[in-house]
Amino acid sequence: MGDLITDAVEGTLYYVPRSEIARIVGLKIDPVKRTEAFATLARLNTLYMVARAGSGHLGGSFSSLDVLAWLHLEEMDDNDVYFSSKGHDAPGWYATVIGLGRIAEDNLHKLRRLGGLPGHPDVGFPGIVTNTGSLGMGISKAKGMVVARRLQGKPGRIFVTTGDGELQEGQIWESLGSAANHHMDELTVIVDHNKLQSDTLVKNVSDLGDVAAKFAAFGWHVERIDGNDMVQVAQTFRKLQTVTGKPKVIIADTIKGKGVSLMEHTAMESDVEYYRFHSGAPDGGTYRTAAQELIARVNAQLTEMGVPPVAFETVEAPTRAAPPAGVQRLVGAYSAALLEHAGKLHNLVALDADLILDTGLIPFKNAYGERFIECGIAEQDMVSQAGGMALNGLLPVVHSFACFLSARPNEQIYNNATERTHIVYVGSLAGVVPGGPGHSHQAVRDIAAMKGCPELAMIAPCTEAEVAMAVQWALTRTSRNAYVRLESVPWSVPFALPADYRLELGKGCVLTEGTDAALFAYGPVMLSQAHAAAALLKAQGIGLKVIDLPWLNRVDAIWLADVVADVRRVFTLDNHYIEGGQGETILAAMAENGIAIPATRFGLEDIPCCGTNDEVLGAHGLDAQSLVRRITQVLGF
Amino acid sequence: MGDLITDAVEGTLYYVPRSEIARIVGLKIDPVKRTEAFATLARLNTLYMVARAGSGHLGGSFSSLDVLAWLHLEEMDDNDVYFSSKGHDAPGWYATVIGLGRIAEDNLHKLRRLGGLPGHPDVGFPGIVTNTGSLGMGISKAKGMVVARRLQGKPGRIFVTTGDGELQEGQIWESLGSAANHHMDELTVIVDHNKLQSDTLVKNVSDLGDVAAKFAAFGWHVERIDGNDMVQVAQTFRKLQTVTGKPKVIIADTIKGKGVSLMEHTAMESDVEYYRFHSGAPDGGTYRTAAQELIARVNAQLTEMGVPPVAFETVEAPTRAAPPAGVQRLVGAYSAALLEHAGKLHNLVALDADLILDTGLIPFKNAYGERFIECGIAEQDMVSQAGGMALNGLLPVVHSFACFLSARPNEQIYNNATERTHIVYVGSLAGVVPGGPGHSHQAVRDIAAMKGCPELAMIAPCTEAEVAMAVQWALTRTSRNAYVRLESVPWSVPFALPADYRLELGKGCVLTEGTDAALFAYGPVMLSQAHAAAALLKAQGIGLKVIDLPWLNRVDAIWLADVVADVRRVFTLDNHYIEGGQGETILAAMAENGIAIPATRFGLEDIPCCGTNDEVLGAHGLDAQSLVRRITQVLGF
């Protein structure tokens, strides 16, 4: 989690080709030394992939790469399976399997691109055995694999890495008991205990206490090692081959960012609160310093062994357009709005699940530290805590990414709703873009998942100004629960809301006039596509009335009848699956109110692709050009 | 959980009036003896309430009543708060607070009745501080209360009981860490460790291992006692008053059904696999034996203390109509269908979350024990395990109550869906009735919550015959995920499906002819109301075409246009919230396909009431009479 920052690296990028890695892998030398050299090369290629993609998780890829390299080079056989439960460390795994020639080498250049390497693991890609990226599911999935293999009489072991912050997820502990009860010694979990989670040190977010004692209490065989010491890694896996009757866990103490001095968390200045290399690409200078250190290290390693140095390839970083001027930053606007209201609403508390940076809570925490409750990666606990707070006089505002917030604590949100308390849920990173992290992070079913919670109104603002209105409404104009859906990606919008626009329940506003058709949308991304489509259609003589309706599950019937009275077709455009999205609400309201205008829904019809924002919008037919094509087709022009 | 069985007790019922309990509470005797007598009287009134209601949880109420009585009589002051996390033991709490005069005495006669005592705790009722009934949320909620009190500078302690089966829920463990990190010594959790969960012994479902070691590893102060020994109970709470700096847990070893010999789990014959008194009322003979034992005990206790015996009140049990002949039992039909397919589909495995009785899995387990996977009360783990199994060649069928299955592992279901595997989810106890357990168990938002899972088709059969078709479709006619929604309450349906009816994706069948309006519904309960309404309307000269559409999120556009071509109004009737229900899907499809017929949706518009089935349907305007009234009003007759 923590996956928003997209940086641009310029200049020359370095990678090591498969052929050179194959040469190292083929060396008849001490396996420990060989694997160390391999891990350094994998780090260089990981760095290259993330720098080129502009996003991705370096810190956790680096911390786990020594274990990963040993597993793949020395420990596992063809019957064994490896996957990462958190999935954030996918770049490190890609570098490993590309290095071993298991997937095509040109994938090195395609991280987080359409048709390339998914941002988080997806079974559509060769060698990936399960989809991860949302935390805490991996051990359960591995257990399912063990059950299947046992029933089928198939041999083999399952190796799963988890993060340490990930251990805050209840599902981890929910999954441990039956693995022990069923003596699943086929299963080895490696906790990449790099001491940092998305935002900062695990101990500052939600201290794990004695991790080894916890696993032992759940009946697991526990080893604790320095996970960046290849000798210990090698010895421990060898030892575990003889441990039977119990599932096994290796608590691997590692260093986040391991291998690049300036990225190692142990190099953090003591007064720096937040670690910089959890996700996102480094800047150009940092990239080159890091690459040079890795190149120097591997060549020193090779020279020491009397082996010729590695030949690197270079490539110029793809040029990236500078972000357009005047972008709308909804999360920033949210930060400001929350801060403003917090000054007046003294019972307001903000709850976070290890996404303080991405959900815009740092200003609030700095100003109202006592009223900031960091819950760690524990969404169910966070939401139920909010329930208890609301019952006792507080006004809780609950934050996470929309994909996690709507689904992970889904029943807990409903339970709170049945208490008729006032709680505000704020889900950021909503919608299909950014497309880089992939479908585990693309929140495109949150509207559906949140439906049917009594008196829960959902609002998706499209501009910074509308964010302020939405926050004001949720905090002061309702006494029940509300969901504010924030698209996080900074977006340049070609429209402005009418000067006299005020947020009213179930009503929206018209952004462009037209009588051939009306198109309802919400949020900056889709309204921008719609607005651009309207301009293109206008040039063809087609009038498209684009309507911002920020209410996702509420429509005022009178307003609706009025706003579509002069059009002959209605379109809806969801930044969400069509099923369960806003379009469903609007179309149902039309039928219910006798508005007999033919209607067509646009939105996601299948699992969202991973890629750049433009690639993803285009692939799903949701960019302005596609909308023009689809609208003219429906209208029969 | 496990809340389906409704039994009829006939004959004389016994209860002890408030005045007699007040006399005992006022005795100047050893507090331990006084509380023991109180607990016995509370057990008698608990037994009365459950017998009269015909349902409720006796076993867990009895096991926890000694702790509960001591807390309320001797330990807590006005600043302290108590609640049960599982909430199933509500009858015991009601008996306690009625005995103490904190709620009106006549509530004794209103368990699970409209306007009476809710089946599971609801904050709408005086003295209930939070809604529980779905497991695992209580410690989190208590933590939220602690945070609120600290911020507000309010004193007081929070006492929370949990079940032992409940400890299988991941949220329990997710909630423990931060309580320790924040030194929440205001919080005391009592684990009612009665060794049995819904179905049978905890150790057979999903053994908990060393519970004390687990809590200790999470940083809690742990005490372990005999929770039915009032001396130990008293001493332990006194000792905990001096323990500071840590949250505290009492592992209270108790006996399920404690106080009534034949209900005590320790009296289970070793060859009896399932405990009979988790939920549901006892039969008449059992009731009387139990009541006599409790009366004899309390009077022996009082006589020993030189106190006059208790004067009981008697009342005749309300007569209950015998279940009508020819009821449809969907869960039974499901059992049979699953068994049949399991014989042919050798990769089929069934997963259960401690509801083997209620989800109809006993025949499968008996026939295919190796392919039956009991997961315990661990829905997230169960669903992700199913994901791993499906990726490895098995065909998992995943079971729980619809309320839990759709919401608790909501993100896990989506994660599985993104792997495009074949998994069948079967949610029972769907819909607004039975109304006795209350809204934690009334699954009326499962359709919404499951929406937006790619390629997940949802089917709600209305008869045993349609169950067989639905199971066949889900297991053999799709290669993707599906959700089968089962209404569990045996229901007498006044209609039969057409002889030539076959299940086809997105299509349904016409049950009554009529051209004034069409009404779409699904499942036995609502289709029965609709069918009865049609008959009543026919007598008024109004023709209502009742249509069974078992597909909840799929509508065939051509079929839809055809089936409503001859009517002038469309109604939909959801056994679910209107928001996110089937009506939304149908109305959106109408608008999208140019079917310009005015439409009206019926379904739940607010949190469902608790009460008898008739009370609940009537209260929400969903019984046949209400439908007639509402339909004629809309049609303008």
pLDDT at B273 over 90: no
- pLDDT band at residue A5 under the 50/70/90 scheme: very low
B544-548 and B517-521 strand pairing:
parallel
pLDDT at B268 over 80: no
> Do the beta carbons of residue A407 and residue A366 sit within 8 Å?
no
pLDDT at B269 (0 to 100)? 72
pLDDT at B271 over 70: no
Please tell me the least confidently modeled range out of A188-197, A292-301, B260-269: B260-269
Query: How high is the mean pLDDT of chain A?
Result: 95
Domains B12-316 and B327-492 share a fold: yes
Q: Mind listing the pLDDT tens digit for each residue in B543-597?
A: 999 999 999 999 999 999 999 999 999 999 999 999 999 999 999 999 999 999 9
Contact residues on chain B for A480, CB-CB shorter than 8 A: none
Does B407 contact A414 at a Cβ distance shorter than 8 Å? yes
Of B533, B451, B523, nearest to B488 by C-alpha is B523
User: And the tokens for A121?
Assistant: 């693991």
Does A394 contact B148 at a Cβ distance shorter than 8 Å? yes
Using DSSP's 3-state secondary structure scheme, residue A590 falls into helix
- For residue A378, what is the nearest residue in chain B, using CA coordinates? B174
| The residue count for chain A | 637
Does A178 contact B376 at a Cβ distance shorter than 8 Å? yes
Residue with tokens 């795994």: A93
**Best CATH choice for the domain B509-635 from the list 3.40.50.920, 3.20.20.70, 3.40.50.720, 3.30.1950.10:** 3.40.50.920
> Do the beta carbons of residue B458 and residue B551 sit within 8 Å?
yes
Does B388 contact A172 at a Cβ distance shorter than 8 Å? no
Does B137 contact A394 at a Cβ distance shorter than 8 Å? no
Smallest CA–CA distance, residue A306 to chain B, in Å, is 45
- For residue B138, what is the nearest residue in chain A, using CA coordinates? A384
- For residue B133, what is the nearest residue in chain A, using CA coordinates? A415
pTM score above 0.80: yes
SS (H, E, C) A176-191: HHHHHHCCCCCEEEEE
Smallest CA–CA distance, residue A224 to chain B, in Å, is 16
pLDDT at B10 (0 to 100)? 72
Between A and B, how many residue pairs show a Cβ–Cβ distance under 8 A?
370
pLDDT at A255 over 80: yes
Domain boundaries, chain B: 12-316, 327-492, 509-635
Does B151 contact A376 at a Cβ distance shorter than 8 Å? no
Using DSSP's 3-state secondary structure scheme, residue A459 falls into strand
What is d(CA A603, CA A582) in angstroms, rounded to the nearest whole number? 10
State the first-to-last Cα distance of chain A, in angstroms, to the nearest integer.
Answer: 45
pLDDT at A1 over 90: no
Q: Mind listing the pLDDT tens digit for each residue in A473-486?
A: 999 999 999 999 99
pLDDT at B126 over 70: yes
- For residue A407, what is the nearest residue in chain B, using CA coordinates? B411
pLDDT at A7 (0 to 100)? 47
Smallest CA–CA distance, residue A258 to chain B, in Å, is 28
pLDDT at A272 (0 to 100)? 67
Does A576 contact B452 at a Cβ distance shorter than 8 Å? yes
Residue A342 gets the label, from left (phi > 0), alpha (psi -120 to 50) or beta, of alpha
Identify the residue with better confidence: A199 or B635: B635
What is the arithmetic mean of pLDDT over B109-138? 94
* Closest Cβ opposite residue B168 in set A136, A174, A213: A174
* Closest Cβ opposite residue B137 in set A149, A370, A415: A415
Q: Mind listing the pLDDT tens digit for each residue in B374-404?
A: 999 999 999 999 999 999 999 999 999 999 9
Contact residues on chain A for B485, CB-CB shorter than 8 A: none
A319: DSSP letter = P
What is d(CA B160, CA B158) in angstroms, rounded to the nearest whole number? 6
Query: How many percent of chain A have pLDDT more than 70?
Result: 98
**Best CATH choice for the domain A12-316 from the list 3.30.499.10, 3.40.50.970, 3.20.20.70, 3.30.300.30:** 3.40.50.970
Please tell me the least confidently modeled range out of A359-373, A480-494, B266-280: B266-280
Q: Is the ipTM of this complex over 0.85?
A: yes
- pLDDT band at residue A274 under the 50/70/90 scheme: confident
> For residue A633, how many other CB atoms are within 10 A of its CB?
10
- For residue B83, what is the nearest residue in chain A, using CA coordinates? A388
User: And the tokens for B369?
Assistant: 């024990």
Residue B541 gets the label, from left (phi > 0), alpha (psi -120 to 50) or beta, of left
Does B144 contact A384 at a Cβ distance shorter than 8 Å? yes
pLDDT at B6 over 60: no
What is the arithmetic mean of pLDDT over B499-513? 98
Does A148 contact B449 at a Cβ distance shorter than 8 Å? no
What is the arithmetic mean of pLDDT over A409-424? 98
Mutate one of B81, B135, B137, B166 to test the A interface: name it (highest A CB count within 10 A): B137
Query: How high is the mean pLDDT of chain B?
Result: 95
Q: Using alpha carbons only, give the angle B229, B235, B238 rounded to the nearest 5 degrees.
A: 140
Identify the residue with better confidence: A276 or B633: B633
Does A177 contact B376 at a Cβ distance shorter than 8 Å? yes
* Closest Cβ opposite residue A419 in set B130, B210, B373: B130
Contact residues on chain B for A168, CB-CB shorter than 8 A: 174, 177
- For residue B369, what is the nearest residue in chain A, using CA coordinates? A151
Contact residues on chain A for B577, CB-CB shorter than 8 A: 451-452, 454
> Do the beta carbons of residue A374 and residue B143 sit within 8 Å?
no
pLDDT at A6 (0 to 100)? 42
pLDDT at A89 over 70: yes
Does A418 contact B607 at a Cβ distance shorter than 8 Å? yes
pLDDT at B3 over 50: no
Q: Mind listing the pLDDT tens digit for each residue in A560-606?
A: 999 999 999 999 999 999 999 999 999 999 999 999 999 999 999 99
**Domain B327-492 bears CATH identifier 3.40.1230.10:** no
Does A391 contact B129 at a Cβ distance shorter than 8 Å? yes
Smallest CA–CA distance, residue A553 to chain B, in Å, is 8
A610: DSSP letter = P
Q: Mind listing the pLDDT tens digit for each residue in B18-28?
A: 999 999 999 99
> Do the beta carbons of residue A330 and residue A487 sit within 8 Å?
yes
Contact residues on chain A for B401, CB-CB shorter than 8 A: none
CA dihedral B57, B58, B64, B66 (to 10 degrees): 150
pLDDT at A202 over 70: yes
Does B453 contact A445 at a Cβ distance shorter than 8 Å? yes
> Do the beta carbons of residue B260 and residue B290 sit within 8 Å?
yes
* Closest Cβ opposite residue B152 in set A169, A393, A447: A393
